[in-house]
Amino acid sequence: MKVINLKEKLKPYLLLSPILFILITIFVSGIIMGFIQSLGYFKAVGLTQFSLQYYKDVLGSKGFLSSLSFSLYTAFTSSIIAIVCGVLLSYAILQIKGKKEVVESLYRVPVIVPHIVSVLLIYNILSQSGLIPRIFYEAGLINDHSQFPSVLYEGNGVGIIMAYLWKEIPFVALTTYTILSKVSNKLSDVARNLGGNKRQVFFYVLLPLIAPSVFSSFIIIFAFSFGAYEVPLLLGPTQPKALSVQAFIQYSSPILANRPYAMVYNILITLIALILTGLYYKAFEKTYKYHR
């Protein structure tokens, strides 16, 4: 029996092993090559000496801390707002009586749309020549389009956060709604019979059930937002630049000798994301065990 149980447990991993091997090999080899280049070894351009000088230059630069703060701010803010709004959206859809096919189809659309499209949508809606300023102008609320507050390319990162939210809220709603829709109504009915209102049922019955899914969603969207470059590149301010944008600029530089600087940024982004994810996981694990 033990042999049979062991085979059953290992079966999913054996079936996934070819794909996992390819994915892990590509990821690990990429990290290793990037780390080697970040140490100054890039034989293609004649750099053959290992050195920490590139790390010293990046970490000692004036713009590093401001770029780091900006990246953390936009990623954390968008992730937290997306988690709250996504959970509330999934709960609201769950409360809809009757057929929900249309609503379910509409809120899933942003998930499959590329981020570059979300950037174009945000620009066409919120830029000073966009849809909302035009509506305000036609309604007589402003006398000129320039009077509409500039929310793009600003240091507060509103444009970046809005673009992420348009994609992330439906993603969180999708992951949490799948679990909520499968939760037996009997749990909610029992809670209500015991005197609980809708708010108490949500916070003390449903929310603990979807907590692991919410946590996983936060990790995914935070890691992506922190490392993505296209949205902050197209909607971000001139200064401070996100860390990912700094990496992209160095990588696309015609001076190939700057490639180690790009890899330093990439390694730092990966390292910081892993550390923060680990800390958040530990905090969540302790909190979840405490509430259980």
Contacts (Cβ under 8 Å, ≥6 apart) of 165? 78, 81, 82, 85
Domain 64-291 adopts which CATH fold?
Answer: MetI-like fold (1.10.3720)
How would residue 108 be classed by pLDDT, with cut points 50, 70 and 90? Answer: confident
Please count the other Cβ atoms lying within 10 Å of the Cβ belonging to residue 215.
Answer: 18
Q: Where are the domains of the chain?
A: 64-291
Q: Which of 10-14, 135-139, 251-255, 261-265 has the highest mean pLDDT?
A: 261-265
Summarised one tens digit per residue, pLDDT across range 58-104 is: 998 888 999 999 999 999 999 999 999 999 888 888 877 766 677 77
Summarised one tens digit per residue, pLDDT across range 239-272 is: 889 999 999 998 888 888 888 999 999 999 988 8
23: tokens are 């994915």
Summarised one tens digit per residue, pLDDT across range 146-205 is: 788 888 888 888 999 999 999 999 999 888 887 887 775 666 666 666 666 777 777 777
How would residue 1 be classed by pLDDT, with cut points 50, 70 and 90? Answer: very low
What pLDDT score does 69 carry? Answer: 93
Beta carbons of 127 and 119 less than 8 angstroms apart: no
Identity of residue 199: R
How would residue 285 be classed by pLDDT, with cut points 50, 70 and 90? Answer: low
What percent of the chain is modeled with pLDDT above 90?
21
Please count the other Cβ atoms lying within 10 Å of the Cβ belonging to residue 171.
Answer: 19
Higher per-residue pLDDT: 286 or 26: 26
What's the CA gap between 245 and 37, in Å, rounded?
A: 18
What pLDDT score does 45 carry? Answer: 80
- Predicted TM-score (pTM) of the model is 0.82
Reference 175, options 110, 108, 80; nearest CA is 108
How would residue 290 be classed by pLDDT, with cut points 50, 70 and 90? Answer: very low
**Average pLDDT over the chain, rounded to an integer:** 83
What pLDDT score does 160 carry? Answer: 93
3-state secondary structure the chain: CHHHHHHHHHHHHHHHHHHHHHHHHHHHHHHHHHHHHHCCEEHHHCEECCCCHHHHHHHHCHHHHHHHHHHHHHHHHHHHHHHHHHHHHHHHHHHCCCCCHHHHHHHHHHHHCCHHHHHHHHHHHHCCCCHHHHHHHHCCCCCCHHHCCCCCCCCCCHHHHHHHHHHHHHHHHHHHHHHHCCCCHHHHHHHHHCCCCHHHHHHHHHHHHHHHHHHHHHHHHHHHHHHCCHHHHHHCCCCCCCHHHHHHHHHCCCCHHHHHHHHHHHHHHHHHHHHHHHHHHHHHHHHHHHHC
